[in-house]
Amino acid sequence: SQQGEEDPQALSIQEGENATMNCSYKTSINNLQWYRQNSGRGLVHLILIRSNEREKHSGRLRVTLDTSKKSSSLLITASRAADTASYFCATDGTSYGKLTFGQGTILTVHP
């Protein structure tokens, strides 16, 4: 069953604006990961945050994790048209890489 629920399902913004996507999950996790998928392509790993971490940065990406609320957010700052893609959160409840994906957020950044 799908554990991760993401909102919004779709987000449309202008270049230069920030984009925030949220993810909620139901069971305990070892880590939570965010992935990007361009249309018809495979997944690209963006960032991993462990259950004992609260915030992590990577370039224009900022991820937060609140294990008490079982939620995470992905912030993309100063968005670019090239950021247009689907973004998925995925939870890893084991050490074997068996991920459970959220429904995804379709981000469209208009130039």
Partner 1 sequence: GAVVSQHPSWVICKSGTSVKIECRSLDFQATTMFWYRQFPKQSLMLMATSNEGSKATYEQGVEKDKFLINHASLTLSTLTVTSAHPEDSSFYICSARDRGLGSTGELFFGEGSRLTVL
**Site residues for partner 1 per CB under 8 A:** 2, 33, 35, 40-45, 48, 88, 96-104, 106
In this structure, are residues 19 and 107 in contact, taking their beta carbons and an 8 Å threshold? Answer: yes
State in angstroms the smallest separation of the CB of 86 from partner 1: 8
88's torsion region: left (phi>0), alpha (psi -120 to 50) or beta?
beta
What's the CA gap between 14 and 6, in Å, rounded? 21
State in angstroms the smallest separation of the CB of 56 from partner 1: 14
> Residue 70: which of 19, 4, 1, 2 has the closest Cα?
4
State in angstroms the smallest separation of the CB of 43 from partner 1: 4
Using the minimum distance from each CB to partner 1, give the nearer residue, 39 or 68. Answer: 39
Residue in this structure with the two tokens 């990007």, named with its chain if needed: 36
Using the minimum distance from each CB to partner 1, give the nearer residue, 71 or 103. Answer: 103
Using the minimum distance from each CB to partner 1, give the nearer residue, 8 or 16. Answer: 8
